[in-house]
Structure 1
Amino acid sequence: MPAIRALPAPPKAWTRSYVAGLVLFDLLCALGAGLIGTTVRFHGALTAATTLPYLWFSLALPAVWALFIYLSGGYARRFIGVGTEEYRRVAVAGLTLAASAAIVAYAVKFDLARGYVLLTLPVVVFATLALRYARRKALHRRRRSGECMNGVVVVGHRVAAGDLIRRFRDEVYHGMRVVGVCLPEHELGEGLAEIEDCPVLGSFRGAADAAALVGAGTVAVLACPEMDGVELRRLAWRLEKTDTELIVASALMEVAGPRTTIRPVAGLPLLHVEHPELVGARRLLKGVFDRCAAVLALILLSPLFMALAALIRMEDGGPVFFTQTRVGRGGSEFPVYKFRTMVVGADALKAALRSRNEHDGVLFKMRRDPRVTSVGAWLRRYSLDELPQLVNVARGEMSLVGPRPPLPEEVARYGHDVRRRLVVKPGLTGLWQVSGRSDLSWEESVRLDLRYVENWSLTLDIQILWKTWSAVIRGAGAY
């Protein structure tokens, strides 16, 4: 068995300074919101006796606001940089504060000015969310340079551990850096010293000691039969002494969120997995939202459409639009519309370029495709060529968010699992768009599409639409 060797421990002080910064920003947001609410609501009577209670409340609001965020878990270390969960807890704090203010005012029979409340509380919530978003983006930039990372010791089998290490490296904004691996006894006998350049620190039983030795803040246990309930409980007891966080990855790696709940049955904590909502009222709501948004976008973007059409026609005199058959929900085919970005007759030239394909799966991608026109390269960089697909969305053939719409020849090469992508409508954008676009491997593209299918929600759609702007402006992975 390879000896456990000490590794440089990552700094932990950044978590305290980060949370302290959050508290400071929250206090400033609350103070500013209180002063704005008082000034706007009582602009003509700031010195009146009836205004005095609101001035005092505005001065006390920062401490009250920070307290409510604390009680909602908004300063918990495990939610630092997480995003959705952090924002949700801020929103819960805002709703709780509003309800508490109403209850206290009713109890003491104080006629609370509704204009003050309706202005102050939304301002404090939205200002807090905006500053936390900016601070989270700054944290992601620091993590891309290797700062503010949380050391992780992975406990699991060699293949699963290697997969998790690669995922953490690909998505570094999560702040997880694997600093060591603990393997089952029979795999230690293989003489492995490293997995994906991460040292093997010993067996499962030594995971707690290994985490303390390398200064890891987290131990991640992957699903494996050797780590049963008894062993997991004993590991948790050992980690409790050093305040090391324990996380357990289930076998359902791509199923998360509202679909999974822990329910006690016969004294056992069982993980219940709900079926994804592929039909029903929520899907109907998604369809209505997609079509209304697409029609509105077509109206607002009509001047841009005319300008882009003129540029395409001026370059080579060819047609403005390119129509191609794609496969939609349930395997049905439909014509997808795009602005033309290639020379006329580009499909006939594809066979001659097949040997120069730079993609590792069923897709055909080239960074410098000679068929792409100069205007087309610019349209592709900023995904402007995709805008006519808003017509497909308005017609109900596509969704604003969903898996990438595949070609029939691509679908013909799908395996059984990959066909799962076809149970929902393809999207104008999706997780593939905000996670690397054409730079993604085939396996990664499929994994992201399947993750979307399994965990769809209208909230996730809105998040992806928001992130699409950033991906498009950067132009990364578009060719």
Structure 2
Amino acid sequence: MAEASTQIPEPPTQRSPAPAREPVVLPSVDVRRKRPPALSFLLRMETLRKGTRVVSLLVLDFAGLLAALVVALMVKSVLRHGEWAWSISFEEARRTIAFAYLVTVLLFARSGLYAERAQRPGLARIVSSLFQVTVVSLIFALVNDQQYSSYYIFYGTFVFAVAILGSARWGYEAATGALLRAAGYRRRAVLVGSGRHIEDVAHALTDEVHAPVEMVGFISLTPRPDNGLRSLGRIEDVARVLDVYRIQEVIIADPDFPQERAVELVDTCHQRGVTVRIAPSTMEILVQRAEFVPGASVPLFELRPPVFDGVDFFLKRTFDIVVSAFLLLILSPLLAVIALGVRLSSRGPIIYRSFRPGIGGEPFACLKFRTMFTDADERQQELEQFNEGSGALFKIRMDPRVTRVGRVLRNYSLDELPQLINVLRGQMSLVGPRPLPQRDFDMLDDWHKKRYLVLPGITGLWQISGRSELDFDDLVRLDFLYLERWSVGLDLAILLKTIPAVFSRRGAF
């Protein structure tokens, strides 16, 4: 076969009939052949880099978990005996760190927290994994008949582990991200799709922490959309674009991307070692919750309604009551100062009751510190022409109905604090889809109203993902994503991320 493949047929003489073509036999290649020395060296360097990443994260997690144990024990000692007890706390932590660390590493690994930089999940998965570590450790202690005067060591360590490990992981991502940027490392990516959705995905990836992205441009399925990005051609040019621009990642940013085109695109990318990612549409978000239905002639998946019930509802409601009561207690001085400021700023009540549809569309009085003059509702209609919000939202960046004190409260979302009372009443949750005014609710499409299957929330993925800068349909998709992937850890992570989002004032108006 090797000899046949090396034979070169003689060219035919002029005007002579073309001879029958013999099948072209390609030289056989053993894909298991040894790699060249240079490639082997590079692969070893890649392995070394991966090993360094895993080892550094393991060391970071060990130090953070040990610190959480020691701090929890010292706080307990201070509260009980009025002394820090460094040596005793460290000695007790040393006896328990081995088991706690083993469980932490196993659950962190299961959650992908030691994966590649671009694939590592964030704070929500860290909180969820640490919660599981706490539960496993508690069950292990009870099974082994270990006696405790209180179970503070478990929930105390959990709280400090979330704070310390979460901060350490955030610092690690920020520091290594800065090093990568200083070294000039950026993932060269191209967006594929049509319409405005391309621009939305590009905007969302601009400030990505995990791995800096250089958005080279976009490849369009349709005549070039005006989205402010560099056009690299049509979908037929994808192979040339990948080669010429040395693309490392292709992102499909189109909910209606044709299936046959997607298969061709993925095949072209994989032949060149290019990663393909998909920005999820509403359907992809819904399928995350799908359950297989056996026995059907055609494979079917059932989409169950994402209603919090049973254990889920108990956990979420308990979390809401405990945290909201705690926040009302510690924020009471601030609430008093805000109430005084609202009273002195303009005539009218301190608390504004905005009647909004809640769970199932049932209206309730959503409590807020008053930020507008008392005739604000009457002036709504005349300001509709200046609306800057998309979809059903009504937003004006410089709303003339807002008082001076009210503008400050809105910038930092302090006007929402009375909704902690709504949480205690069971009308709202700390985290969930934001309740919309009746005017906005009346303009919703039917598919938008799935967000009313659960209690509305004070904060949510809207607040930590751009707030008023996002398109309304994208905001609804964030609600869907929250409903399908809810956990106590996700709620806690959203609450923690709300704080920097509020102080940054991004999209707050």
Same-fold status (TM-score > 0.5): yes
**1:296: which partner in 2?**
326
Please show how residues 197-276 of structure 1 align to structure 2 within 5 Å. 197-200=230-233, 203=236, 207=239, 210-220=241-251, 224-227=258-261, 234-235=267-268, 238-239=271-272, 242=273, 244-247=274-277, 252=282, 255=285, 259=289, 274-276=303-305
**1:393: which partner in 2?**
423
Q: Does 1:168 align with 2:210?
A: no
- Segments of structure 1 that go 5 or more residues without pairing to the other structure are 1-12, 103-113
**2:194: which partner in 1?**
159
Q: Secondary structure at the match of 1:216?
A: coil
Q: CA deviation at 1:442?
A: 2.9
- The 3 A distance-change label for structure 1 pair 33 and 452 is closer
Q: For residues 431 and 448 of structure 1, what CA distance do their matches in structure 2 show? A: 6
**1:411: which partner in 2?**
441
Q: For residues 341 and 224 of structure 2, what CA distance do their matches in structure 1 show? A: 63
Q: For residues 361 and 334 of structure 2, what CA distance do their matches in structure 1 show? A: 33
Q: CA deviation at 1:451?
A: 3.1
**2:342: which partner in 1?**
312
Q: For residues 113 and 122 of structure 2, what CA distance do their matches in structure 1 show? A: 11
Q: For residues 333 and 54 of structure 2, what CA distance do their matches in structure 1 show? A: 43
Q: Does 1:370 align with 2:400?
A: yes
Q: For residues 107 and 339 of structure 2, what CA distance do their matches in structure 1 show? A: 53
Q: For residues 67 and 289 of structure 1, what CA distance do their matches in structure 2 show? A: 26
**1:278: which partner in 2?**
307
- The 3 A distance-change label for structure 1 pair 462 and 26 is same
Q: Secondary structure at the match of 2:352?
A: strand
Matching residue's letter, 1:224:
P
Q: Secondary structure at the match of 1:349?
A: coil
1:153 and 1:182 in contact (8 A); partners too:
yes
- The 3 A distance-change label for structure 1 pair 34 and 446 is closer
1:23 and 1:66 in contact (8 A); partners too:
no
2:467 and 2:507 in contact (8 A); partners too:
yes
Among residues 46, 50, 59, which one is paired with 1:27 in the alignment?
Answer: 59
Q: For residues 460 and 337 of structure 2, what CA distance do their matches in structure 1 show? A: 26
**2:15: which partner in 1?**
none
2:292 and 2:302 in contact (8 A); partners too:
no
Please show how residues 463-478 of structure 1 align to structure 2 within 5 Å. 463-478=493-508
Moved more, 384-393 or 439-448: 439-448
- The 3 A distance-change label for structure 1 pair 135 and 234 is same
- The 3 A distance-change label for structure 1 pair 415 and 33 is closer
1:168 and 1:177 in contact (8 A); partners too:
no
Moved more, 323-332 or 284-293: 284-293
Q: Secondary structure at the match of 2:259?
A: coil
1:90 and 1:125 in contact (8 A); partners too:
no
Q: For residues 392 and 407 of structure 1, what CA distance do their matches in structure 2 show? A: 16
Q: CA deviation at 1:163?
A: 2.3
Moved more, 256-265 or 387-396: 256-265
- The 3 A distance-change label for structure 1 pair 476 and 14 is farther
Q: CA deviation at 1:199?
A: 0.8
Identity level (%): 31
Please report the RMSD computed on the Cα atoms of aligned residues, expressed in angstroms: 5.2
Among residues 406, 427, 450, which one is paired with 2:457 in the alignment?
Answer: 427
- The 3 A distance-change label for structure 1 pair 66 and 446 is closer
Deviations 1:151-182 (A, max 9, x none): 2345x6x427x624531323441644443556
1:182 and 1:203 in contact (8 A); partners too:
no
Q: Secondary structure at the match of 2:188?
A: strand
- The 3 A distance-change label for structure 1 pair 237 and 408 is closer
Q: For residues 325 and 231 of structure 2, what CA distance do their matches in structure 1 show? A: 51
**1:380: which partner in 2?**
410
Among residues 187, 208, 219, which one is paired with 1:150 in the alignment?
Answer: 187
Please show how residues 330-369 of structure 1 align to structure 2 within 5 Å. 330-369=360-399
2:127 and 2:489 in contact (8 A); partners too:
no
Among residues 468, 471, 476, which one is paired with 1:446 in the alignment?
Answer: 476
Matching residue's letter, 1:280:
D
Q: For residues 203 and 279 of structure 1, what CA distance do their matches in structure 2 show? A: 46
**2:16: which partner in 1?**
none
Among residues 167, 186, 198, which one is paired with 1:130 in the alignment?
Answer: 167
Q: For residues 187 and 459 of structure 2, what CA distance do their matches in structure 1 show? A: 31
1:286 and 1:458 in contact (8 A); partners too:
yes
**2:26: which partner in 1?**
none
2:347 and 2:374 in contact (8 A); partners too:
no
Q: For residues 453 and 344 of structure 2, what CA distance do their matches in structure 1 show? A: 41
Q: For residues 92 and 343 of structure 1, what CA distance do their matches in structure 2 show? A: 45
Q: For residues 128 and 432 of structure 2, what CA distance do their matches in structure 1 show? A: 27
- The 3 A distance-change label for structure 1 pair 396 and 86 is closer
- The 3 A distance-change label for structure 1 pair 137 and 15 is farther
- Segments of structure 2 that go 5 or more residues without pairing to the other structure are 1-44, 75-84, 142-147
Q: For residues 331 and 198 of structure 2, what CA distance do their matches in structure 1 show? A: 42
2:324 and 2:424 in contact (8 A); partners too:
yes
1:254 and 1:454 in contact (8 A); partners too:
no
Q: CA deviation at 1:413?
A: 1.6
Q: Secondary structure at the match of 1:203?
A: helix
- The 3 A distance-change label for structure 1 pair 236 and 424 is same
1:356 and 1:366 in contact (8 A); partners too:
yes
Q: CA deviation at 1:235?
A: 4.6
- The 3 A distance-change label for structure 1 pair 413 and 25 is closer
Q: Secondary structure at the match of 2:463?
A: helix
Q: For residues 368 and 194 of structure 1, what CA distance do their matches in structure 2 show? A: 26
